[in-house]
């Protein structure tokens, strides 16, 4: 806490050994009026949440599990872009951390909407949950799970080959406290920059780390699964895809199930 060089982010910090879900807990605090920048950390979650009602598994004390409370005072249209922005900040932090420690770089790729992948395996997942009122965002809780030191044998068998950790990729122990401080400091700086520029640069910066454009994939849409070609991310941060008849659509919620070239 003393090493953290932020003004707002993490100044109000809750640390748990065990909790159900840092997101669930922070949403509760947000409803009770917790200030912007409140952070909840836990060493373990008994009911870690993923997107689409999935679970998030992470063995005790190995990785980072945290949630950040934002109160952006923007219309709901911005929620998606704020979420994409957090993936950018996290990926930049990983690059910077590895560089600072003289470790080999890793090639982080984004999978829409906000998975961080290395060699198609998941390094981190982000879950944004919001409280809305009159078309405005009253609170946005960004939940981040980052696989730092977990090794395959320690991982839940269900995700053993689907996930990957920074230690596995670099062979080095990752200093979780250093990583967290760097992430929160970068987050504070970049969040301010993105907000000041009304998230105009987010889409371009996000696209630079996505190599799914032009790929044929299986998509989960509100109308069921369908084959599609990923074409773009539009100005709102939605996925633009081409269906098999050559027609373009924008996907607001849903996801890319699999990619095959």
The binding site for ligand BTN (CB under 6 A) comprises 21-23, 45, 48-51, 54, 56, 65-67, 115, 125-127, 143-145
Least distance in angstroms from the C-beta of 87 to ligand BTN: 11
Residue 256 tokens read as: 């890319």
Side-chain half-sphere CA neighbours of 97 within 13 A: 26
Least distance in angstroms from the C-beta of 110 to ligand BTN: 12
| Residue placing its CB nearer to ligand BTN in the complex, 142 or 229 | 142
Least distance in angstroms from the C-beta of 148 to ligand BTN: 12
Q: Are strands 239-242 and 224-233 parallel, antiparallel or unpaired?
A: antiparallel
| Residue placing its CB nearer to ligand BTN in the complex, 81 or 111 | 111
What does the chain come to in residues? 261
The full DSSP string for 89-140 is HHHHHHHHHHHHTTPPP---EEETTTEEEETTEEEEEEEEEEEEETTEEEEE
Least distance in angstroms from the C-beta of 79 to ligand BTN: 15
Least distance in angstroms from the C-beta of 232 to ligand BTN: 22
Compute the radius of gyration of the chain from its Cα atoms: 18
| Residue placing its CB nearer to ligand BTN in the complex, 125 or 254 | 125
| Residue placing its CB nearer to ligand BTN in the complex, 94 or 229 | 94
Closest CA to 242 of 228, 222, 259, 256: 228
| Residue placing its CB nearer to ligand BTN in the complex, 63 or 186 | 63
């Amino acid at each position: 806490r003393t090493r953290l060089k932020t003004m707002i982010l993490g100044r109000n910090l809750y640390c748990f050994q065990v909790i159900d879900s840092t997101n669930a807990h922070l949403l509760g605090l947000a409803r009770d009026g917790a200030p912007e920048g409140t952070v909840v950390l836990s060493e373990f979650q008994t009911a870690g949440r993923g997107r689409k009602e999935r679970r998030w598994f992470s063995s005790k004390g190995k990785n980072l599990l945290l949630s950040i409370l934002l109160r952006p005072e923007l219309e709901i249209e911005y929620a998606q872009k704020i979420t994409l922005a957090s993936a950018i900040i996290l990926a930049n932090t990983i690059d910077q951390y590895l560089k600072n420690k003289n470790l080999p770089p890793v090639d982080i790729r984004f999978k829409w909407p906000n998975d961080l992948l290395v060699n198609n395996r998941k390094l981190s997942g982000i879950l944004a949950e919001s409280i809305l009122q009159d078309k405005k965002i009253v609170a946005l809780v960004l939940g981040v799970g980052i696989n730092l030191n977990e090794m395959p044998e320690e991982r839940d068998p269900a995700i053993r080959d689907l996930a990957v950790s920074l230690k596995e990729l670099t062979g080095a122990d990752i200093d979780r406290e250093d990583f967290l401080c760097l992430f929160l400091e970068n987050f504070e700086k970049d969040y301010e920059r993105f907000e000041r520029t009304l998230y105009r640069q987010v889409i371009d910066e996000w696209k630079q780390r996505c190599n799914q454009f032009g790929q044929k994939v299986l998509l989960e849409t509100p109308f069921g699964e369908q084959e599609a070609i990923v074409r773009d991310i539009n100005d709102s941060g939605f996925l633009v895809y081409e269906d098999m008849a050559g027609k373009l659509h924008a996907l607001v919620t849903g996801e890319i199930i699999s990619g095959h070239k």
